[in-house]
Amino acid sequence: MKQRTLNHKMQKIDSIDALSLYAQLTNNGRKANSLLFSNHEKDDCASFIISQSALKIEYIDKHLIYHALTPFGEQLIQDYFQLQNLTKQYTIAIQDHAPLSFIHPALEKINQFIKIYKVKVAILFSFEFYDCIESLPTTQETENNFPQLIVFVPELYFEIKTKTQICLAHFNSFSNNTNVFENIISKLAEPQKTHLLTKESTQKIEPTLSIQPNDSEFIRQIATAKQNIQKGNVYQIVLSRAFSLPCPNPFASFEQLRKSNPTAYQFYYHCDHFIVFGASPETSIKVENQNNKKRITLHPIAGTKPRGFDHQKNIATDIDVHNEKALLSDPKELAEHMMLVDLARNDISKIAIAGTTKVTALTQVSKHSEVMHLYSIVEGELPTTFDCIHAFSACLNMGTLSGAPKLKATKLIKEIEQTQRGAYGGAIGWIAADETCDTAIIIRSACVQNGIATIRAGAGIVFDSDPKTEVTETYLKAKTVINAI
């Protein structure tokens, strides 16, 4: 039986405020299996909103699980797997990754699905997806075992480009009946109450902050990392720790984070049993079509100094400029950064056409609410036989969240941290049927489960790292999200 072709309905609507539209469609972010993902580049912002997922695909414990979320999702499962009856869930056991196979089987299945139905999907990789690609030691389970990979296949989604002031609504179905879609569009045209969360977001709650590991234990972990660097086992390793506190309203916290820390990427991802929100400055993997060529881009960020504040906690230009000059001349920060630029070049070179891998920006400074970073941009051209799925297999996880060499550093992270990172250090974004993608590294973010937000923050440890400085760096990175909550 041949797979059916999706009916794709598209309509232009007036709304170009992504946050307001998402709030309106999802009851202020309360609707499960929904997404808001925005990429702010120069003078433009591109947003991708999923308000209704038809299908959720999870990879966990060597099983790829297809969950139907709507009747259309049930039809997708039936059609894709050639089943006689509708089903709400279908599971595939995934064999171990073959050493000579370039793409992990779970990604092969998802890539096949995207190409058959020509859909644009949301995707989230946890840090532990790297375990599927490489042979790594296991860590103790977290209280809520986090999926290694999650995909939302949308039934109703929206794309917004603020520069052209265009918002396109999309509806996927096997049916020619688009009444549901048309009803939603007509409701969006009606006057709406503002989504302001003033009352909820200004409630005064004294948070109880838990930090694991504590400062003294984290300093001990840094010492262990430096011993491995001195022995020549690794050049750099990124250690992280978790800051946890109550988060009664994740969407209000996300709205505050957007205001206080505007960054390249902003995302709010509501799955059934958790919410991940963040404002990340760093691209994970981006693949674009440029002049009939596929361009892959990595955006390594490494090297950190605090912003310059006066006694009133306002930015003091003279102090800020001083800190920027210190960042650009600090041998430790520059060495850390260049290691990871080289790692990004190496990752892209695995799949790019020979001679096309280039560093198009080197040791630039990006400034955020609490810290400033060094960043570079590395690009390459993909051959026609490769797509963004090959890019994920070749480049995940980013060296800026693991270290160098990547495999050895990740093994040491697992031995030292002894816990799963979950979403932190993974990637979130979208993949389209035209073999393009845009993903952000999940940093400056919170994962909310059962009303508790966990914010992980890391520091790159090198030979001459000062442990107390690295401890302070994790506080500064986490502070942005903690303050928003």
Residues serving a catalytic function are 373, 400, 424, 444, 460
Cα(397)–Cα(216) distance, rounded to whole angstroms?
A: 28
Contact yes or no for 235/404 (Cβ under 8 A): yes
Letter for the amino acid at 337?
Answer: H
Instruction: Determine contact, residues 323/308, Cβ cutoff 8 Å.
Output: yes
Q: Which residue has the tokens 């840094």?
A: 222
Query: In terms of Cα–Cα distance, which of 42, 93, 31, 105 is closest to 63?
Result: 93
Separation between Cα atoms, residue 298 and residue 347, nearest integer Å: 9
- Which residues share a beta bridge with 105? none
d(CA 185, CA 167): 12
Per the listing, tokens 């879609």 go with 181
Give a three-class secondary structure readout of 228-290. HHHCCCCCEEEEEEEEEEECCCHHHHHHHHHHHCCCCEEEEEECCCCEEEEEECCEEEEEEEE
In this structure, the strands spanning 149-161 and 63-68 are unpaired
Whether 251 and 30 have beta carbons less than 8 Å apart is answered as: yes
Tokens for 291, please give them: 């002049």
Local structure of 1: helix, strand or coil: coil
The label of the residue with tokens 């490489």 reads: 134
H/E element, 455: strand 452-461
**Backbone angle region of 453, left / alpha / beta, with phi > 0 → left and psi within -120 to 50 → alpha:** beta
Give Dmax (Cα) for the chain.
71
- Looking at the DSSP bridge assignments, the partners of residue 188 are none
Let me know: does 303 contact 336? Beta carbons within 8 Å: yes
